[in-house]
Amino acid sequence: MTVRNKLSENALQRLRIWLLLTPAMTVIVMLFVGGLIAGLARSLNYFPLIGLTEPNLDAYRAVLGDETFLRSLAVTSYISFTATAISSVLAVAAALLLRPLVLRQRLFYFMFSLNLTVPHAVGAIGISYLLSQGGLASRLARSAGLTDRPADFPALVADPWAIGIIVEYVWKETPFIGIVVLAILASVGEDYESAARSLGAGRWQTFRYVTMPLVLPGLVPASVIVFAFTFGAFEVPFLLGRTAPTTLPVLAYRSYTDVDLAARPEAMAISMVIAGTSALIISAYLALTRHYSRG
């Protein structure tokens, strides 16, 4: 038997919610926000423990004036843009292709989502065994008489165009975006498209004016997630990328683990650039969706 205090019923409920949230908020604030702040402080050369109490922008000046950093930024952006764009296009195509099958057979859905469970690291190793100049594709090319030596096969791993990295991302992220698109296609059904066809829209027009607007609300967030992830991912460029220029996360890690401890603030500055970029992408996305949902 419980006696409840009527006046504070709402306040109690509010308190209960915040009590449930407190552990998670503590973890996020202490670790994530704390880590960011610690990184920011260090990047500003603010480190009272060793007597640095005057924050300055030296590390940022050094990093932004460094050609290694700028080329790395360019490479990272290029990889993320290209991988995200190719994955998105392939994902929509694959979802449309698989739609009739998936609606009938859950097994196809399962198979399509299978490599979601394959860690990026494993995917990257697989790609290197497949595409490197000594890899399986190169050997097949030789047995087909197309090449003579490993060096005849085009460099696809640790290559200037980061093809190996992009292929790994496309391989892993296409099913991710595709499944989001498939889920939307399955939930809205085919009635809208049938209605458009009977109103006189051609196949392409139906795709352009009916299917695309239907899947965009899922496609765009999924693509944004992929972009932000590939921008900050470490494992794949670490395994499949060139030593220089490398991507920002690898560069940050290398500067951080450099024997020269003076490079640490610069590593922190690079990691702040990565965090800032992903925050920027997400807030731009949020602002856009809010704008569209209002308009």
Partner 1 sequence: MTTVTLAGLVKRFGADAPVIDQLDITIESGSLTALLGPSGCGKTTTLKLIAGLLTPTAGEIRFDNQSVIALAPEDREAVMVFQNHLLFPYLSVADNVGFGLKMRRVPKTELRSRVADMLELVQLPDIGRRTPASLSGGQQQRVALARALVIEPRVLLLDEPLSNLDAHLRDEMRELIHSIHSALGITTVVVTHDQEEAVILADRVGLLLDGSIRQVDSPKAFFERPASAAVARFFGGSNFLPGTWTDGLFHTDIGSFTVPSKTATSGPAVLTIRPEDVGIEIPTAGGDVDTPLVNTVAGVVRSSLYGGRYARFEVAVGSRSFDAITEPRRFDALASGRPVTVRFPPEKVWLLPE
Partner 2 sequence: MGLLLIALALPILPLAVWSVSFRWFYPDVVPSVWSLEAWVAVLSPANNLAAATADTVAVASLVTVLATLIGVPAGRALGLNEFPGKRVVELLILAPIVVPGVAVALGIHGLFIRYGIANSRLGVAVVHLVPTVPYLTLLVSGVFANFDTDYELQARSLGASALATQRFVTLPAVGPGVAVGALFTFLISSSQYVLTLLIGGGEVVTLPLLLFSFARSGENAIAGALSLVYIAPGVVALWLSSRHLSGNSAALGGLQKL
Instruction: Please provide residue 160's backbone torsions phi and psi, each rounded to the nearest 5 degrees.
Output: -60, -30
Tell me how far apart the alpha carbons of residues 265 and 38 are, in angstroms, rounded to a whole number.
11
Question: Which of the stretches 27-35, 61-69, 190-198, 199-207 binds partner 2 when contact is defined by CB under 8 A?
Answer: 27-35
- For residue 198, count CB atoms less than 10 angstroms from its CB and return exposed for 0-12, middle for 13-18, buried for 19 or more: exposed
Tell me how far apart the alpha carbons of residues 220 and 284 are, in angstroms, rounded to a whole number.
12
Does residue number 104 form part of the binding site for partner 1 (CB under 8 A)? no
**From partner 2, partner 1, none, which one binds at residue 10 (CB under 5 to 8 Å depending on kind)?**
partner 1
Does residue number 234 form part of the binding site for partner 2 (CB under 8 A)? yes
Does residue number 18 form part of the binding site for partner 1 (CB under 8 A)? no
Q: What is the closest distance, in whole angstroms, from the C-beta atom of residue 89 to partner 2 in the complex?
A: 14
Choose which of 12, 29, 57, 146 interacts with partner 2 (CB under 8 A).
29
**From partner 2, partner 1, none, which one binds at residue 78 (CB under 5 to 8 Å depending on kind)?**
none
Question: Which of the stretches 5-13, 109-117, 136-144, 247-255 binds partner 1 when contact is defined by CB under 8 A?
Answer: 5-13
**From partner 2, partner 1, none, which one binds at residue 42 (CB under 5 to 8 Å depending on kind)?**
partner 2
Q: Decide whether 93 or 195 has the Cβ nearer to partner 2.
A: 93
Choose which of 146, 195, 199, 279 interacts with partner 2 (CB under 8 A).
279
Q: Nearest CA to 214 among 179, 194, 255, 185?
A: 185
Q: Nearest CA to 274 among 239, 220, 223, 230?
A: 230
Q: What is the closest distance, in whole angstroms, from the C-beta atom of residue 223 to partner 2 in the complex?
A: 12
> What Rg, from alpha-carbon coordinates, does the chain have?
25
Does residue number 110 form part of the binding site for partner 2 (CB under 8 A)? yes
Does residue number 9 form part of the binding site for partner 1 (CB under 8 A)? yes
Q: What is the closest distance, in whole angstroms, from the C-beta atom of residue 286 to partner 2 in the complex?
A: 8
Q: Nearest CA to 113 among 165, 168, 183?
A: 183
Q: What is the closest distance, in whole angstroms, from the C-beta atom of residue 199 to partner 2 in the complex?
A: 29
Residues 181-220 that bind partner 2 (CB under 8 A): 183, 186-187, 218
Q: Decide whether 57 or 195 has the Cβ nearer to partner 2.
A: 57
Tell me how far apart the alpha carbons of residues 279 and 285 are, in angstroms, rounded to a whole number.
10
Choose which of 75, 135, 162, 245 interacts with partner 2 (CB under 8 A).
135
Contacts 24+ apart (CB under 8 A), 130-136: 131/156, 131/157, 131/163, 131/164, 131/167, 132/156, 132/157, 132/164, 133/157
Q: What tokens were used for 84? A: 């995200």
Does residue number 81 form part of the binding site for partner 2 (CB under 8 A)? no
Collapsed DSSP state (helix, strand, coil) of residue 266: helix
